[in-house]
Structure 1
Amino acid sequence: MEIEWTERDPGTRDKRTVRAERFARKWGFKVQARRYEPWVTVSQPSRDMWETLLDALERRYPRREGVTDEDLKQVRAIVAALPAEEAGSPGE
């Protein structure tokens, strides 16, 4: 499963695309600064990325778009375990 969204890079404030992928029951994040540039793997996703993913999953769940109870439970547990993000931290 793949979910994409656009956001502002916390460091440069430039627009970028974020992709969350679930493979083998694990979530991974990649970012792309411009359309034809390569995707860069994010080793430490920010709390904001996880919360955006959770929001996207919750919106897709009622429409039965491939989101399972297990997906929601897993991401909710990850978000709950994350510390509150400090102001000014880049998150990557």
Structure 2
Amino acid sequence: MEIEWTDADPESEEKRFVRAEKFARKWHFKVRFRRRTNWAAVTNPSREMWETLLDALERRYPRREGVTDEDLKQVRAVVAGLKPEESEPPE
């Protein structure tokens, strides 16, 4: 399964393409800054990337677009286990 979206690079604020792929029951993130260039693997995905992936999965789930209960459970667990980012005020 592949899910793609665009966002802004947190360091340079440049537009980038992001891809999340599920292979062998694990999620892998890749980015690129221009079309038709090679994807670069992301070794430490940000909380924002995981939250965007979770949102995309939740929107696809009711339409039965290949999203399973296991997918949602796995990504929710990862998001719940991540620390809040520095810019967010503590709860």
Whether the TM-score (by the shorter chain) exceeds 0.5 is yes
State the distance in 2 between where 1:72 and 1:4 align.
Answer: 17
Q: Output one character per residue of 1:17-47: Cα deviation in whole Å (capped at 9) or x when no partner.
A: 0000000000000001100221000000000
Does the residue aligned with 1:51 lie in a helix, a strand or coil?
helix
Shift >3 Å, 4+ stretches: none
Alignment: residue pair count: 87
Partner in structure 2 of residue 44 of structure 1: 44
Q: How does 1:1-92 map to 2 (within 5 A)?
A: 1-87=1-87
Q: Percent identity?
A: 72
Q: Output one character per residue of 1:57-88: Cα deviation in whole Å (capped at 9) or x when no partner.
A: 0000000000000000000000000000113x
TM-score by length of 2: 0.94
* Higher RCO (CA-CA < 8 Å; seq separation 6+): 1
Partner in structure 2 of residue 90 of structure 1: none
Residue type matched to 2:43 in 1?
S
Question: Cα RMSD over matched residues?
Answer: 0.5
Does the residue aligned with 1:19 lie in a helix, a strand or coil?
strand
Structure 2: gaps of 5 or more residues: none
